[in-house]
Amino acid sequence: MVRGAMSWPHRLWFGAIFVVGIFYCLAFPPFQTNDEDAHWLHMWSVVYGHLRCETPKPLSATQFLTFVHQKEVREDPAYFRVQYLRDAARWSLTGEPMTTVDGTACRYPPMAYVLPGGVARLVAFGRHGERRGGMLYAAWAARLANWVFMSLGILLLCWQLPWCRNVALFFYSIPEAIQQGMAINNDSFLVAMTAVVLVLAFGRRPAAWKLPIIGLCVGMMTMIKPVYAPLGAVGVILWERLYALHRWRWRDLAAGAAAVLVPFAMQSLWTHWLNYGVVVDPARVQLDYGRARATAQLEFLSRHHSIVFPLMWHQLRDFFFSDDLMKGSWISVFGAFGWSMFTMDRWAYDLLLVAAALALTLDIVAAAPSPDLPAPTRRGIVALVLAAGAVEVTVVGVILGMYVYFSGAFLNRIGANEVIGVQGRYHHIAILLWAAMLLHGVRRRREWSASARTLLPAIVTLTLFLCVLANVEALHAILGRFYGSYFATHEAAPRHY
């Protein structure tokens, strides 16, 4: 297995999941995944050149949410009708009157919205500013653009790091990752940036200039979610490789410092720019009960530091032994669909567990040697441990963030000893990073015999089959949830709440 050369089973795997992702784009009614409506509104602000809250965006983008009955369908999936899509396809847009209505995503930076927003604007209005059904087609086009962008990130990872190709393709096949990757949000961009960071850290020809690029990629991720700031420490892996080649060099030290510090600087500058010149009405702050509850939860944490230990223990317990999709259950890592409200049949999750074990085993025992990336020395293992620890810090940050801003601000559970609001999708970046680090540390680096190598494509094909079968069940669950009233043998979906 050489760099850039994908076997036919791997090509078939990638192509099959790419097609599956297109079906996901169409199977979900518009804005029926997590916070997609808020990201949709902010995307239109960005594509019109506005980066802050309460800035102009097309009025038709806001009206489209009502047109497809987004709120009613979210609360009761059985409310959805195909007629809503037919009506939207006949809706003729004339001109572009503006509005300043915002969603909850208006403080996110613009990077993740430029591609889907540009595609959506072109599809919705064309060159003449008028198109029948433009908003419906724009929503589908934005989803497809995000899916293509994430797919390119995974393809880059498979091409540049063939020794983790099976794990990368398994990650690409996770139904939850497909759902989040195609939805109008930031997840596609985050996965693509993670792929770039891994390629820079583990790729061929280590160079000092790659370290600031790692810092820049992590910095953009940190602007989206501040908990990702510690991921700049992944640059330690590349710095250790440079040290093994050149020993101490000032430019390597400076570049390593940039990888670690740039994310913090970018997040700080972005936050200061967002708040610069913004006048806050004191009366409005007093009525902001969410902010008051978040402040109360932070004060509780500051007075009771030891609560962190039961929080982490309960989160670990809920991950392995709970089926609650809002408490970080392992099930939600593989598939918590819609607004994290429903799942597929349990056998599909079991198939994914088997596929994960096969993919990891294949990359550990069957990856070809990489002369440019030998087994890590003791110093290299220390670098891996430091980078893995930085990833763990981001996981803890997610848990504490949900404790403050969801359990506290949204649910008013001040001082509770468990966290509600952690979803498996928040762990995807950590899982991808940890998997690559583990493979670099433990994978076999000797060539297999010719007879043994003939078995490997068969195992890859089996893994591909298991992943596709699980996604067929996922699509069945999604269609049944929203289109159940059209199926004579399928009961209408129950209400979310």
Residue 351 has a pLDDT of: 97
pLDDT digit string (tens) for 185-234?
999 999 999 999 999 999 988 999 999 999 999 999 999 999 999 999 99
Segment 260-286 mean pLDDT: 83
End-to-end CA distance of the chain: 50
Q: Is residue 68 part of a domain?
A: yes
Tracing tokens 């919205």 back to the chain, one arrives at 113
Range among 126-130, 272-276, 365-369 with highest mean pLDDT value: 272-276
pLDDT class of 133 with cuts at 50, 70, 90: confident
Q: Is residue 55 part of a domain?
A: yes
| φ/ψ bin of 175: left (φ > 0), alpha (ψ from -120 to 50), beta (otherwise) | alpha
Which amino acid makes up residue 332?
A: S
How confident is the prediction for the chain on average, in pLDDT? Answer: 89
Higher pLDDT, 125 or 493: 125
Q: Is residue 255 part of a domain?
A: no
Angle at 21 (CA atoms; ends 161, 163), nearest 5 degrees:
15
Q: Which of 388, 402, 441, 381 is nearest to 230 (CA)?
A: 388
pLDDT digit string (tens) for 220-257?
999 999 999 999 999 999 999 999 988 889 999 999 99
Give whole-number Cα distances, 147 to 26, 36, 68, 313, 468, in Å: 12, 14, 22, 35, 17
DSSP letters spanning 420-431 = --B-GGGGHHHH
Is the pLDDT at 436 greater than 70? The verdict is: yes
CA distance 426 to 5: 32
Segment 163-167 mean pLDDT: 93
pLDDT digit string (tens) for 350-403?
999 999 999 999 998 876 556 567 788 899 999 999 999 999 999 999 999 999
Residue 281 has a pLDDT of: 63
Residue 2 has φ and ψ, to the nearest 5°, of: -120, 165
Q: Is residue 165 part of a domain?
A: no
Q: Is residue 155 part of a domain?
A: yes
For residue 92, give the DSSP letter.
B
Residue 316 has a pLDDT of: 93
58 three-state secondary structure: strand
Higher pLDDT, 411 or 155: 155
Per the structure, the complete domain to which residue 144 belongs is given by: 30-160
Is the pLDDT at 285 greater than 60? The verdict is: no
Q: Is residue 150 part of a domain?
A: yes
Residue 468 has a pLDDT of: 97
Q: Is residue 137 part of a domain?
A: yes
Is the pLDDT at 3 greater than 70? The verdict is: no
Give whole-number Cα distances, 495 to 312, 346, 469, 481, 492, in Å: 31, 21, 27, 10, 9
Residue 77 has a pLDDT of: 85
CA distance 323 to 339: 16
Which amino acid makes up residue 138?
A: A
1 three-state secondary structure: coil
Angle at 399 (CA atoms; ends 393, 405), nearest 5 degrees:
125
Q: Is residue 5 part of a domain?
A: no
* Helix H or strand E segment including 98: strand 98-99
CA distance 452 to 433: 29
pLDDT class of 97 with cuts at 50, 70, 90: confident
Segment 149-166 mean pLDDT: 95
pLDDT digit string (tens) for 33-66?
999 999 999 999 999 999 888 888 888 888 899 8
Number of folded domains that form the chain: 1
CA distance 350 to 88: 39
Residue 455 has a pLDDT of: 83
Is the pLDDT at 25 greater than 90? The verdict is: yes
The sign one gets for the Cα dihedral 104, 106, 112, 113 is positive
